């Protein structure tokens, strides 16, 4: 349900050639703006107009995506990857899909100006750049080594971190602490972290530590009063079990409270608003019934002030 991917399928006068990524985002932002409630989220959305085009380049990466080079290595096993606007801004999802999650966060009292923000599993950098335009110190964590290498010309003040959180001690040290927000969109799903049917290893995320240590680590990275926020979009569950369709919080309310968090919302159903966003972003352009194919839940936690 990525708008950019859908444009590849929709017939156009240009014989199926999709429109350029950034102009398409700007067009869709006009559709989306009226549904947003927070003034700062509207300003964030407007920042899509400031995203810069990427000069296309070709990189060569190992199969595990942990080693990449600008020139083809003599070793076998490296494959070419093209970095362009679509790769940088629409590789996994689109930045505009953060609009509704940010509106929820704004309603809880968060504002990004002067705040230190971490997006775990950011996927693409558009939403990070847009947050930085609002005066936030923005950090992103991803496992793909190519993104930080290939986006140096456009990332500005955004800091990209490569590695496997939370088991990578070097990455954890690099991230440090003092965050006002630790957020995860479509990464910390129960289906990925604690799947009901752990048969598909490809759909799982190994955080590298047990639950108590992971949550203790996140708690310690936050300032008193800071937010830990999980927002997940998911398709309908089906047989066989789909890990990505289990968008519930990976941890129980009791485990989160035992880790010290104040629970402001737990697996709150945000499907109605998410579907409205999806419609305005044309995720149903191919006739998908979002009532049946799109669901959203969020869990909002806070480190107490004391």
> Mind giving me the DSSP string for 271-296?
HHHHHHHHHHTTTTTT---HHHH-EE
The pLDDT value recorded for residue 202 is: 67
**CATH classification number, 3-53+89-302, choose in 3.40.50.150, 1.20.1070.10, 3.30.230.10, 3.30.2130.10:** 3.40.50.150
The pLDDT value recorded for residue 52 is: 93
Cα 141 to Cα 79, 127, 165, 175, distances in angstroms: 23, 13, 8, 9
Asked whether the predicted pLDDT for residue 70 surpasses 80, the reply is yes
Element (H, E) at 30: helix 21-32
Region 161-170 average pLDDT: 96
Asked whether the predicted pLDDT for residue 168 surpasses 50, the reply is yes
Asked whether the predicted pLDDT for residue 17 surpasses 90, the reply is no
Rounded CA gap, 3 and 136, in Å? Answer: 27
Asked whether the predicted pLDDT for residue 25 surpasses 60, the reply is yes
Region 30-38 average pLDDT: 98
Q: Which of the residue ranges 3-7, 66-70, 95-99, 174-178 would you say has the lowest mean pLDDT?
A: 3-7
Question: Which residues contact residue 39 at a Cβ distance below 8 angstroms, ignoring those fewer than 6 apart?
Answer: none
The pLDDT value recorded for residue 2 is: 44
Region 206-231 average pLDDT: 98
| Distance, CA of 106 to chain centre | 17
The pLDDT value recorded for residue 253 is: 98
Rounded CA gap, 161 and 269, in Å? Answer: 31
- Count CB atoms within 10 A of the CB of residue 135: 13
**Two tokens, residue 286:** 């191919």
User: Are the beta carbons of 183 and 121 closer than 8 angstroms?
Assistant: no
The pLDDT value recorded for residue 160 is: 96
Region 13-42 average pLDDT: 86
The pLDDT value recorded for residue 9 is: 30
Instruction: Give φ, ψ of 87 to 5 degrees.
Output: -65, -45
Predicted model pTM: 0.93
pLDDT tens readout for residues 176-201: 999 999 999 999 999 999 998 876 65
Pairing status of strand 137-142 against strand 159-162: parallel
Q: Which of 90, 73, 81, 79 is nearest to 126 (CA)?
A: 90
User: Are the beta carbons of 158 and 135 closer than 8 angstroms?
Assistant: no
Instruction: Give φ, ψ of 141 to 5 degrees.
Output: -120, 130
Asked whether the predicted pLDDT for residue 11 surpasses 70, the reply is no
The overall longest dimension of the chain from CA atoms, in Å, is 61
């Amino acid at each position: 349900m990525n708008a950019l991917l859908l444009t590849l399928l929709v017939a156009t006068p240009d014989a199926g050639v999709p429109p350029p990524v950034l102009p398409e985002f700007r067009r869709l932002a006009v559709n989306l703006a009226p549904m947003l409630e927070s003034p700062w989220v509207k300003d964030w959305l407007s920042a899509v107009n400031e995203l810069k085009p990427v000069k296309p380049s070709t990189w060569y990466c190992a199969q595990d995506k942990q080693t990449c080079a600008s020139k083809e290595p003599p070793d076998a096993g490296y494959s070419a990857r093209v970095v362009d606007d679509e790769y940088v801004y629409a590789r996994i999802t689109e930045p505009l899909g953060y609009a509704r999650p940010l509106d929820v966060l704004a309603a809880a009292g968060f504002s990004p100006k002067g705040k230190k923000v971490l997006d775990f599993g950011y996927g693409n950098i558009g939403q990070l750049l847009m947050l930085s335009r609002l005066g936030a110190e923005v950090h992103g964590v991803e496992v793909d080594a190519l993104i930080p290498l290939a986006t140096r010309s456009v990332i500005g003040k955004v800091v990209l971190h490569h590695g496997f959180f939370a088991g990578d001690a070097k990455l954890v040290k690099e991230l440090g602490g003092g965050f006002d927000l630790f957020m995860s969109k479509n990464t910390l799903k129960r289906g990925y972290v604690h799947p009901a049917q752990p048969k598909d290893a490809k759909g799982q995320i190994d955080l590298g530590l047990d639950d108590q240590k992971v949550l203790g680590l996140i708690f310690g990275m936050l300032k008193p009063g800071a937010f830990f926020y999980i927002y997940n979009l998911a398709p309908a569950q089906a047989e066989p079990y789909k890990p990505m369709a289990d968008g519930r919080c990976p941890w129980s309310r009791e485990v989160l409270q035992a880790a010290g968090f104040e629970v402001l919302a737990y697996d709150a159903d945000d499907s109605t608003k998410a579907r409205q966003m999806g419609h305005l972003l044309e995720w149903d352009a191919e006739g998908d019934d979002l009532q049946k194919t799109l669901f959203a839940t969020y869990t909002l936690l806070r480190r107490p002030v004391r």
